[in-house]
C-alpha cells in the first residue's frame, strides 16, 4: 500500500565485525507506480556494483510493482580488505554458497593494447583478438563474486571448425594452472581486482590456426553443475614467425618486417635483358582481407585439424588461389579476350580481388595471369603469418611430360612441328617463395620453399604446385615432395632440339645448357631494389655442380638417357639487342651474331620465325670466312601491330644447318616491346585527414587510337581502389587526369595506377608519398 512502512529489527549479525555498530533499523517500503521515480537505495547500488550478474537494474519501462529497499545507515567494515565478510553481512549468505559465474569476457583485443602489440598484429583492421601461436596472451573475466582459488574451478574452451573435437586439436580445453609451461595450452591468474581476474593464456607453437570461439566454464564444488559463458568476440590464431618453436620461425627481424609485415612490394616481368618492375599492393592488413583468407581456408576441403601444418596450408592455398578445379579466387586467362572481366595487366593490388571474392561468397574473379596469382598468394600467406615473397624467373620452362628437359621438335626440313612442341619457355613466370622448416624431409631442406598458384599442371589431381624445397631444387633431388621435378625443370632444364628422320623417329641434334632459368628476381629486403636469387635455385651455370644436378635430376625423368652422348659443335648463334630493346609502336630491330669457332670456313642458311604473330622470315645465307658475323634483323611495326597480346612479347626462333659439317643450329630468344609508364606527380604536401591531389599523365605511343581506356588507381592508406573511365585516346595523344583524395594513415605510402586497354598492356606507374601527421593539432583551436 502507498506509504505503508514496516520496521524490521535484525539481530543476527551483531558482533560480526570488530567494533560493529548496534543493530540497524531496516525500513521496507512498498511503492506504487507513482513512487517508482524515487532514488534507488545505496545498499542495492553497492550490491549491484559488487555483483552485477545477480542484481540487474529493473527495466524502467516495466509495468511490474517495484520493491525498493531503503536503509538508514549500513555498517562499514573496520578493515577495507574484509570485503567477503561484508558481502556476507549484506546478503546474510555465506560466500561459498554463491554459485560462481562469469558476467563478461574482455579479450583485450584493442589494436593499441598489449596483446596486439606483442603479437605483431596491431596493423590488422578490426577489434578481434588476433594473436600468434606459441605466445602468451591475456584476457580479463568479470565474475559475479571474487574468485576463491581453494574452492572455485575455471577453465576455457576454444573451438574451431564445424565439428570441434579434442582428439583433432580443434576443441581445446585450457586448464587453470599455477605455473605456465611452454608448448601446451594453459592459463594462469596473473591479476585479481575484487570480482575481476586477468588470465595469461599460453598456446603451443603447433596449434591449429583459424577462428576460435571462446567459452568460459566455472564451478564451485564437485557436485555443482558447471556454468558456461560464451564470449561475444572470437580469437583469430595465426602462424608465428617470431616464435622459435614454430616451424615458420624466421630468425631475422628485417626479413620478418619485409616478408610478413610489408604490405607493398614489387613484382618483376619482361625478359632477362629487359626486366620491368611494377608496384603491387599486397594489403594483407586491409579491412576484410583476414576475413577473406579465413574464408578461403573454410572453402577448401582441408579439415580444420590440418591447419596446424604450414606445408598443408600452403598446398591448399596454392590450389585455392586459382579457380581451375575448385572455384578458387581467380580465373586464369591467356586468350587476350577479357571483355567479361578485368585484364590481368590492369590489376595492381590483391585487395580488390580478395574482397570481391569474399563479398560474392566465393565466386571466382576474372581474370589473372601468373603475376596476379603470385601477388594474391603473397597476400594470403603473409596475412596468415607465413613469410612469403613473389619471385620471377626469366626464361622459365614449362615441362609437360616430366622429362625434366625442354624439348623442341623440327621436321625433316627444320620447320617447327607445332603439335609436338607442348613444352614451352615463358619469357618470364612469377611464383612464390615461403619460409618454413620441413620436418617431413631430410635435414637441410628447410628454409625457402617454392609454391606456384598459377594453374599449369595438376599435382595429385589438383592444379597446384609445392611447397618444393629450394635447396632440393638446387641439388637436383627431384624425388622429394612436393612437385620438385616441375620447379626444377622451370629453372634448370636443358633445352633439347630434336629432328624427325625419314623413318619417323627423332634424333637429338642440339642441346642448350644455359637456355632456362635466368635472373631469378625478388624485391630486396628494406628497399625497392631488385635482388637476384638465382644462386639459391641453381649452382653457377656450367659449373660441375650444376651439371651434376641436371644429370641427376634427368635420371628420374621420362628420358633418362638424354645425356648418353656428346656432340661436337664449332658454330654457334646468338641474338643481341641494343639498349633496353625495341619500343612498342616502332620497328623491332635485333642483331643476330653467328660465330665460327673452328679454323675452317663455314656456311650456314638460317631460318627465322617469330612466334606470337606467326611471322616467317625469308631464309638468309651466312658465309663465315671470319670468326663472327652480325646480321641485322628487323620486324616492321605494321607486321606485328594487330597480333600482340598481353605482354607484347615475341619469340624469335632461328634454325639452320652448317653446310660443311651438317651441324644443326637452333636458337630461341624472347624479347618484349617496351611500353610507356604512367607518370604520377603528387601535388602539394600530404597530411593525414587533409585533402591532396596527384596528377596522372599518359602518352599513347602508338600511331593508332586506343579504345575504351580505363585507369585503375589505388593507394593503401591514401584511397580505395577505383576505376576512372577515360574513353578513346588518339594516336600519340596525351591524357592528364587529377586525382583528389584524403590520406588516412601516416608514413611512406605508394599511389599506384594502371591502364586497362585491349590494344596496350603492362602500362602502370607509382608515386611515393610521405604522409605526415596533421601539423600543430589543436593549434588553430585557440
Instruction: Tell me the binding residues for Ca(2+).
Output: 492, 494, 541, 546
Q: Would you list the DSSP string of 237-269? A: EE--TT-TTSTT----HHHHIIIII--EEEEEE
Residues β-bridged to residue 156 = 174, 216
CB 202 within 8 A of CB 242: no
Return phi, psi of residue 173, to 5°.
-100, 115
Q: Would you list the DSSP string of 16-69? A: SSTTPPSPPEEEEEE--GGGTTSPPPHHHHHHHHH-TTTSPPPPTT--SPPEEE
CB 651 within 8 A of CB 611: yes
Q: Which residues contact 90 (CB under 8 A, 6 or more apart)?
A: 43, 46, 47, 74
Catalytic site includes residue 587: no
Strand order in the sheet with 406-410: 406-410, 495-500, 506-512
Residue 209, all three cell numbers: 590456426
Question: Which candidate in 429, 518, 539, 607 is catalytic?
Answer: 429
Residue 544, all three cell numbers: 660441375
Question: Which candidate in 51, 243, 293, 370 is catalytic?
Answer: 370
Residue 245, all three cell numbers: 618453436
Q: Which residues contact 137 (CB under 8 A, 6 or more apart)?
A: 108, 115, 118, 119, 129, 131, 200, 201, 203
CB 666 within 8 A of CB 654: yes
Rounded-to-integer distance, Cα 177 and Cα 197, Å:
14
Catalytic site includes residue 370: yes
First vs last Cα of the chain: how many Å apart? 60
Strand pairing category for 447-451 and 468-469: antiparallel
Question: Which candidate in 452, 518, 607, 756 is catalytic?
Answer: 452
Rounded-to-integer distance, Cα 706 and Cα 757, Å:
7
CA–chain centroid gap for 623, Å, is 56
Q: Which residues are annotated as a binding site?
A: 492, 494, 541, 546
Go through 245-278 and write b for each residue having 16 or more CB atoms within 10 A of its CB, e for each that does not. Answer: ebbbbbeeeebbebbbebbbbbbbbbbbbbbbbb
117 CB neighbour count, 10 Å cutoff? 12
Residue 144, all three cell numbers: 559475479
What are the CA-CA distances from residue 126 to residues 106, 130, 142, 273, 615 (Å)? 15, 9, 23, 45, 56
Annotated catalytic residues are: 370, 429, 452
Amino acid at each position: 500500500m502507498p506509504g505503508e512502512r514496516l520496521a524490521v529489527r535484525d539481530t543476527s549479525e551483531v558482533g560480526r565485525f570488530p567494533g560493529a555498530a548496534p543493530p540497524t533499523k531496516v525500513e521496507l517500503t512498498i511503492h506504487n507506480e507513482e513512487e517508482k521515480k524515487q532514488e534507488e537505495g545505496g545498499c542495492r547500488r553497492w550490491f549491484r556494483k559488487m555483483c552485477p550478474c545477480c542484481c540487474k537494474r529493473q527495466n524502467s519501462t516495466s509495468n511490474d510493482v517495484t520493491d525498493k529497499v531503503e536503509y538508514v545507515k549500513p555498517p562499514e567494515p573496520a578493515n577495507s580488505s574484509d570485503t567477503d565478510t561484508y558481502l556476507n553481512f549484506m546478503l546474510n549468505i555465506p560466500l561459498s554458497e554463491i554459485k560462481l559465474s562469469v558476467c563478461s569476457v574482455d579479450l583485450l583485443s584493442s589494436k593499441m593494447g598489449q596483446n596486439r602489440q606483442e603479437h605483431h598484429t596491431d596493423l590488422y583492421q578490426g577489434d578481434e583478438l588476433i594473436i600468434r601461436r606459441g605466445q602468451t596472451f591475456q584476457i580479463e573475466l568479470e565474475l559475479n563474486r571474487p574468485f576463491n582459488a581453494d574452492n572455485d574451478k575455471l577453465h576455457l574452451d576454444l573451438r574451431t571448425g564445424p565439428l570441434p573435437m579434442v582428439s583433432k586439436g580443434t576443441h581445446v580445453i585450457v586448464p587453470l594452472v599455477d605455473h605456465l609451461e611452454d608448448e601446451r595450452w594453459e592459463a594462469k591468474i596473473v591479476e585479481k581486482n575484487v570480482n575481476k581476474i586477468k588470465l595469461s593464456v599460453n598456446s603451443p607453437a603447433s596449434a591449429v590456426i583459424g577462428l576460435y570461439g571462446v567459452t568460459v566454464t566455472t564451478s564451485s564444488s564437485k557436485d555443482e553443475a558447471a556454468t558456461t559463458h560464451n564470449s561475444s568476440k572470437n580469437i583469430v590464431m595465426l602462424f608465428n614467425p617470431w616464435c622459435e618453436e614454430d616451424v615458420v620461425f624466421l630468425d631475422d627481424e628485417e626479413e620478418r618486417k619485409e616478408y610478413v609485415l610489408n604490405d607493398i612490394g614489387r613484382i618483376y616481368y619482361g625478359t632477362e635483358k629487359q626486366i620491368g618492375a611494377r608496384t603491387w599492393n599486397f594489403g594483407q592488413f586491409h579491412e576484410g582481407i583476414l576475413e577473406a583468407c579465413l574464408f578461403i581456408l573454410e572453402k577448401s576441403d582441408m579439415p580444420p585439424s590440418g591447419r596446424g601444418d604450414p606445408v598443408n596450408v600452403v598446398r591448399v592455398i596454392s590450389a585455392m588461389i586459382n579457380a581451375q578445379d575448385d572455384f578458387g579466387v581467380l580465373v586464369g586467362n591467356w586468350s587476350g579476350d577479357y571483355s567479361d572481366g578485368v585484364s590481368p595487366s590492369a590489376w595492381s593490388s590483391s585487395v580488390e580481388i580478395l574482397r570481391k571474392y569474399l563479398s560474392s561468397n566465393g565466386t571466382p574473379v576474372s581474370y589473372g595471369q601468373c603475376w596476379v596469382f603470385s601477388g594474391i598468394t603473397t597476400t594470403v600467406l603473409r596475412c596468415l603469418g607465413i613469410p612469403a615473397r613473389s619471385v620471377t624467373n626469366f626464361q622459365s620452362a614449362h615441362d609437360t611430360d616430366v622429362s625434366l628437359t625442354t624439348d623442341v621438335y623440327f621436321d625433316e626440313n627444320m620447320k617447327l612441328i607445332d603439335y609436338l612442341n607442348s613444352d614451352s619457355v615463358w619469357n618470364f613466370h612469377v611464383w612464390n617463395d615461403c619460409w618454413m622448416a620441413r620436418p617431413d624431409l631430410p635435414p637441410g631442406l628447410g628454409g625457402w620453399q617454392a609454391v606456384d598458384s598459377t594453374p599449369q599442371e595438376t599435382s595429385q589431381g589438383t592444379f597446384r604446385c609445392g611447397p618444393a624445397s629450394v635447396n632440393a631444387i638446387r641439388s637436383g633431388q627431384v624425388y622429394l615432395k612436393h612437385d620438385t621435378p616441375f620447379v626444377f625443370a622451370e629453372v634448370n632444364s636443358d633445352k633439347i632440339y630434336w629432328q624427325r628422320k625419314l623413318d619417323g623417329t627423332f634424333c637429338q641434334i642440339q642441346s642448350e645448357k644455359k637456355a632456362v632459368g635466368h635472373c631469378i628476381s625478388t624485391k630486396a629486403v628494406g628497399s625497392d631494389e631488385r635482388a637476384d636469387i638465382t644462386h639459391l635455385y641453381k649452382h653457377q651455370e656450367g659449373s660441375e655442380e650444376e651439371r651434376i644436378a641436371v644429370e641427376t635430376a634427368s635420371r628420374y625423368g621420362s628420358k633418362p638417357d638424354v645425356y648418353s652422348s656428346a656432340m661436337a659443335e664449332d658454330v654457334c648463334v646468338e641474338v643481341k639487342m641494343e639498349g633496353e630493346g625495341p619500343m612498342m609502336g616502332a620497328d623491332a630491330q635485333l642483331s643476330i651474331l653467328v660465330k665460327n669457332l673452328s679454323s675452317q670456313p663455314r656456311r650456314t642458311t638460317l631460318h627465322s620465325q617469330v612466334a606470337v604473330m606467326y611471322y616467317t622470315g625469308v631464309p638468309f645465307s651466312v658465309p663465315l670466312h671470319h670468326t663472327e658475323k652480325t646480321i641485322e634483323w628487323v620486324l616492321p611495326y605494321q607486321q606485328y601491330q594487330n597480333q600482340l597480346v598481353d605482354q607484347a612479347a615475341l619469340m624469335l626462333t632461328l634454325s639452320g644447318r652448317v653446310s660443311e659439317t651438317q651441324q644443326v643450329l637452333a636458337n630461341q630468344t624472347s624479347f618484349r616491346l617496351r611500353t610507356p609508364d604512367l607518370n604520377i606527380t603528387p601535388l602539394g604536401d600530404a597530411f593525414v585527414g587533409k585533402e591532396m591531389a596527384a596528377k596522372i599523365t599518359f602518352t599513347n605511343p602508338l600511331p593508332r587510337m586506343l579504345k575504351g581506356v580505363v585507369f585503375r588507381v589505388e593507394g593503401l592508406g591514401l584511397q580505395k581502389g577505383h576505376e576512372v573511365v577515360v574513353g578513346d585516346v588518339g594516336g600519340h595523344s596525351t591524357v592528364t587526369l587529377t586525382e583528389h583524395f584524403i590520406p588516412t594513415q601516416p608514413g611512406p605510402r605508394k599511389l599506384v595506377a594502371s591502364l586497362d586497354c585491349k590494344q596496350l598492356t603492362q602500362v602502370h606507374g607509382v608515386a611515393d608519398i610521405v604522409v605526415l601527421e596533421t601539423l600543430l593539432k589543436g593549434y588553430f583551436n585557440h
